[in-house]
């Protein structure tokens, strides 16, 4: 167990600040889609963000002498918050349509599935034999961005709901963030075990 030094405390504080900045930006943007529901969703999203920050502070207190474990947890909550704020708009846009429940159920299942396979995802990052799969992640992200931009352009041209295109784009990015986040929910000990298993 490593002791906390002033330098690592400062780094941790900067990381918390970065998480707050990213989440605050996404929180406002997510609450504004659709625009007419901003006053309803802003306090809801703010409450969720408050719970995330409380969890981060609780983990800081628990793991402040194990910075590696804390940084891992912090990345997890940063990405989970990002994915929530990115995926929520499509659910809100679909609220008054028959597509609401299918979209909501798929979203919940996506979160559950990503957590169920988190060890398999982690292996891609710690197993040198899976380097080819690791290179697919940035490629997949690039494809998602291009597809999202194309969808926004098509929806705008077809005069769908004005927020639908951006909501779909954010949903794709949020879905990617979920799968990136889940390996960071594993303990440091389990990640080391996976590294050892990959070396066998």
Query: What does the pLDDT look like over 64-98, one tens digit per residue?
Result: 677 777 788 888 998 999 999 999 988 888 887 88
**Residue 161 DSSP symbol:** -
Give me the chain's average pLDDT, please. 81
Length of the chain: 200
pLDDT at res. 80? 92
pTM for the structure as a whole? 0.79
pLDDT at res. 2? 46
Q: Closest Cα partner for 65 from 140, 135, 27, 12? A: 12
Helix 118-126 to helix 100-116 angle, to the nearest 10 degrees? Answer: 50
The widest CA-to-CA distance across the chain, in whole angstroms, is 59
pLDDT at res. 199? 55
Taking residue 29's Cβ as centre, other Cβ atoms within 10 Å add up to 15
Q: Closest Cα partner for 71 from 175, 172, 176, 191? A: 191
Cα–Cα distance for residue pair 56/118, rounded to 1 Å: 20
Q: What is the mean pLDDT of residues 110-123?
A: 91
**Residue 45 DSSP symbol:** H
pLDDT at res. 6? 55
Please say if the pLDDT value at position 192 is more than 80: no
Dihedral sign from CA coordinates of 37, 110, 80, 21 = negative
């Amino acid at each position: 167990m490593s002791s906390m030094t002033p330098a690592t405390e400062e780094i941790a504080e900067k990381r918390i600040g970065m998480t707050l900045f990213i989440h605050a930006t996404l929180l406002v943007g997510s609450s504004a889609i659709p625009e007419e529901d901003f006053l309803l969703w802003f306090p809801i999203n703010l409450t969720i963000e408050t719970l995330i920050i409380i969890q981060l502070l609780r983990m800081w207190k628990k793991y402040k002498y194990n910075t590696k474990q804390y940084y891992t947890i912090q990345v997890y909550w940063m990405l989970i918050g990002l994915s929530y704020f990115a995926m929520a708009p499509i659910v809100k846009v679909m609220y008054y349509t028959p597509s609401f429940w299918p979209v909501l159920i798929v979203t919940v299942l996506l979160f559950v599935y990503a957590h169920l396979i988190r060890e398999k995802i982690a292996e891609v990052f710690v197993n040198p034999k899976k380097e080819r799969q690791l290179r697919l992640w940035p490629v997949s992200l690039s494809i998602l961005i291009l597809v999202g931009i194309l969808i926004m352009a098509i929806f705008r041209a077809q005069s769908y709901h004005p927020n639908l295109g951006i909501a779909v784009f954010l949903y794709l990015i949020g879905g990617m963030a979920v799968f990136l986040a889940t390996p960071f929910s594993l303990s440091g000990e389990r990640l080391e075990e996976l590294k050892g298993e990959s070396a066998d």
